[in-house]
Structure 1
Amino acid sequence: MVSDTRLQINAGWLDSVQRSECEHFDCRPADHDISLLVIHNISLPPGEFGGPHILDFFAGKLQPHSHPIFEQIYQMRVSSHLLIRRDGQIIQFVGFEERAWHAGVSSFQGRTRCNDFSIGIELEGTDNTAYSEQQYAALIQVTNVIVEKYPLITIGRIVGHNDIAPGRKTDPGVSFDWPGFRQQISFSKSI
C-alpha cells in the first residue's frame, strides 16, 4: 500500500518499498539517458490477482506445472523496475539505473530498444479490468518521484507498452485512465 511517507530514490532504488531483486537485468548503455516511462499490466495466471506468481516469474522461479500457461512462459527472462499490486503495494525488482527487460522489441519516436532508456512499471491487472484507486494513487506517487529524479521524462514520454510495441502489445489497455492519470503528474516548471 502507498505509504504516507514521501518516496525518495537513493542509488536507483525507492526507499520505503518492498524489494524483490532479480537477476533479469543488465547495465544500460553508457550513451543512453533515462527518458521514457512505460506502463504495463500483468496478471499470473491471466486474469487472476494476488499470489506469488509475478514475483516468481521475474525471479526465474515460475513452476511450469503450476498452471498450463506457465509451461509456455516459465523460461522467459523478463523483469520490470516496479510492480504495483491491486492494493497499491509497490515492489521494486531492478534499480532504475539498470536496464530491466520489460519492453521487448520496441521503438519510440524512431529510437529502438526502449529498455535502454526507459523505466518499466507493471500494474497488476488486465487490459479490460479497471485498475484500483490504490494502484492509481501509488502510480501517481511513484511517477512524480521518477519525473523529478529523471527530468528527461516529460508528459509526452510517459507511454503504454502498446505505444512502443503496437500490434504486439495492448497493455495497459482500454481500462487505463490516461487523462485522469496525466492530470495528477507534477512536472518541474523548468520543463
Structure 2
Amino acid sequence: MSAAARWRRGWWSGAARRSSPNHGPRPDGAAIELLLLHSISLPPGEYGGDSIERLFTNRLDWGAHPYYATFRGLEVSSHFVIRRDGRALQFVSCERRAWHAGRSSWRGRENCNDFSIGIELEGLEGEPFEDVQYVTLARLVDALARRYPLHAMAGHEHVAPGRKRDPGPGFDWARVRALPATAGWDFPEM
C-alpha cells in the first residue's frame, strides 16, 4: 500500500480515530509546513489512562484530580497523540486546524496552528520518551512528509518560549533529525 493510500480526508490509517470537536478551518491558502511536537500526561506523570482522550474530546471530569482545576473548561486538541506503548491516536483531520499551539510564532509567523500539525507524545518535560514512541513517530513523520509540504519541525517550547517547555530536554532531537523524511528540514537551534 502506498503512503498516499493511507490517508482519507486528512485521517491516517495508522492511528486509531478519536474525533475531537476542538478544531476549525485552516486559513485560505495555508500550506501545512510545520510539525509541532508536544508532551502531555494527565495527571502529570501518570500514563495509560483515558484522561488525554477525555480532555481532547471535552469529556474530562474536572473534579477527578486537583490538577485539572488549573485548566478547567479549556478546549484543546492535537492532531495526534503517541502513547507510551507506541499506539497512535488521531483527534483532528490534518486538513483542519487543531487547537494545540495557542499563542505562538515560528520564524516570524504568528498562529502556528494555521500551518502546523500537532503531535503530542505521552510524557513529561525533562523525562525520556520510550523507544517505541520514536518508532511510531518515525512512521508518522514519513507518512506526513509524503502527504503534506512539511519542511520544519519544532517543539512547543520553541514556538511559545517562556510559556511552554514541552517536549523538553528528555526529547531526543538528534534521533528525529536523523530520519530520512526530515532531511533538509528546518529545526530549532539546539
Q: Same fold (TM over 0.5)?
A: yes
Match of 1:58 in 2: 56
Cα distance, 1:142–1:16 mapped onto 2, change above 3 Å: closer
Asked if structure 2 preserves the Cα contact closer than 8 Å seen for 1:140 and 1:185, the reply is no
Once the two structures are TM-superposed, the CA of residue 74 in structure 1 deviates from its matched residue by 3.1
Q: Does 1:70 align with 2:68?
A: yes
Aligned residue runs from structure 1 range 21-36, under 5 A: 21-36=19-34
- Match 2:15 to one of 11, 14, 17: 17
**2:187 corresponding residue in structure 1:** none
In structure 1, the gaps of 5 or more residues are none
Q: Does the alignment pair 1:136 with 2:134?
A: yes
2:171 match: 176
Q: Which amino acid aligns with 1:105?
A: R
Deviant stretches of 4+, over 6 Å: none
2:105 aligned with 1:107:
yes
Superposed CA deviations along residues 36-77 of structure 1, whole A, max 9, x for unmatched, are 110000000011111010000011111111000112223001
Give deviations 1:4-36, integer Å, cap 9, x for gaps.
x97822210001421110100001011211111
Q: With structure 1 as the length reference, what TM-score do the two structures score? A: 0.91
1:184, distance to aligned residue in structure 2 (A): 1.7
Which structure 2 residue ranges, 5 or more long, are not aligned? 185-190
8 A Cα contact 2:177 2:183, kept in partner: no
Distance between the aligned counterparts of 2:34 and 2:179, measured in 1? 18
Asked whether the equivalents of residues 143 and 185 of structure 1 are also in contact (C-alpha less than 8 Å), the reply is no
8 Å Cα contact 1:61/1:74 also seen in 2: no
Partner residue of 2:45 out of 44, 47, 55: 47
**1:67-116: per-residue Cα shift (whole Å, max 9, x none)?**
00112223001000000000000000000000000000000111100000
Q: Which amino acid aligns with 1:146?
A: L
Provide the TM-score with structure 2 as the length reference. 0.91
- Give yes or no for contact 1:12–1:96 (8 Å, CA) kept in 2: yes
CA distance in 2, matches of 1:67, 1:188: 42
Aligned length: 182
Match of 1:120 among 105, 118, 121: 118
> What is the percentage of aligned positions where both structures have the same residue?
42
| Secondary structure in 1 matching 2:60 | coil
Q: Which of 51, 69, 80 matches 1:82?
A: 80
Does the Cα contact within 8 Å between 2:176 and 2:182 map onto a contact in 1? Answer: no
Q: Distance in 1 between matches of 2:124 and 2:182?
A: 28
